[in-house]
Amino acid sequence: MTKDELIGAVADAAGLDKKTADGAIKAVFIALSASLAKGEETSVYGFGAFSVGDRAARQGRNPQSGEAIEIAASKVVKFKPAKALKDAVNG
């Protein structure tokens, strides 16, 4: 599903026009991004929980030359699906 398809589905389900649905979806993504940027966990009941984790620095290899490179530490977004989402996906 693309973003445009998601906007259409939300508009149809909520009885909104596409412009309003687009604004609502953008607002959700902005709020989620801001929460994760602060390092906060964000839970959506029945859907899942988003959190931020740390990835340690590590050694890697350049696939073209085989040369060893240092990969810097970084933060990653984690998602843990809720039971209701797991059940919906597994039928």
Domain at 54, CATH number: 4.10.520.10
| Residue 69 belongs to domain spanning | 41-91
Per-residue pLDDT of the chain (91 residues; tens, 9 = 90+): 999 999 999 999 999 999 999 999 999 999 999 999 999 999 999 999 999 999 999 999 999 999 999 999 999 999 999 999 999 999 8
User: Is residue 56 domain-shared with residue 15, that is, in the same domain?
Assistant: no
User: Is residue 33 domain-shared with residue 59, that is, in the same domain?
Assistant: no
Structural domain tally of the chain?
2
Q: Cα–Cα distance between 35 and 51 in angstroms, integer?
A: 9
Burial status of residue 85 (CB atoms within 10 A of its CB: 0-12, 13-18, 19 or more): middle
Q: Cα–Cα distance between 54 and 74 in angstroms, integer?
A: 6
Q: Cα–Cα distance between 91 and 85 in angstroms, integer?
A: 10
Radius of gyration of the chain (CA): 19
User: Is residue 24 domain-shared with residue 56, that is, in the same domain?
Assistant: no
Structure pTM?
A: 0.77
User: Is residue 32 domain-shared with residue 45, that is, in the same domain?
Assistant: no
